[in-house]
Homo-oligomer: A and B are copies of this chain.
Amino acid sequence: MSSGVWSALVVVEPRAGIADPEGRAITDAARHLSLAEDATVVAGRAFRLRLRAATRDEALRQVGALAERLLANPVIQSWRIVELEGVSAPEEPSR
């Protein structure tokens, strides 16, 4: 099956209502810095995925499955796909 290479950016954030002590600590530090007016920070994770898939839909399905089962814990976190793009060079040898 001919399939292209896709690059996706998945962002995982604490669900609304779930405490975010790390974000609060970063917010406090940001205020000490006086670099931004009243900035608040929510701390999450970002994952850059590269994978093979025949179509954009198939790539979306694979990224979604990984996000749901591995990258995020749905009890406390939500996830979304921020970027998904086809990467050229489907013929490149696998490393």
Contacts and interface: CB of A to CB of B under 8 A. Distances in A.
Interface of A: 3, 9, 11-13, 26, 29-30, 33, 35-53, 62-63, 65-66, 69-71, 82-83, 94
B48 A41 contact: yes
B44 A47 contact: yes
A46 B49 contact: no
Given A26-B70, A30-B70, A65-B35, A50 B40 contact: yes
A47 B30 CA distance: 12
Given A9-B11, A62-B39, A70-B33, A46 B48 contact: no
Question: Which of A36, A40, A94 is most buried by chain B, counting CB atoms within 10 A of its CB?
Answer: A36
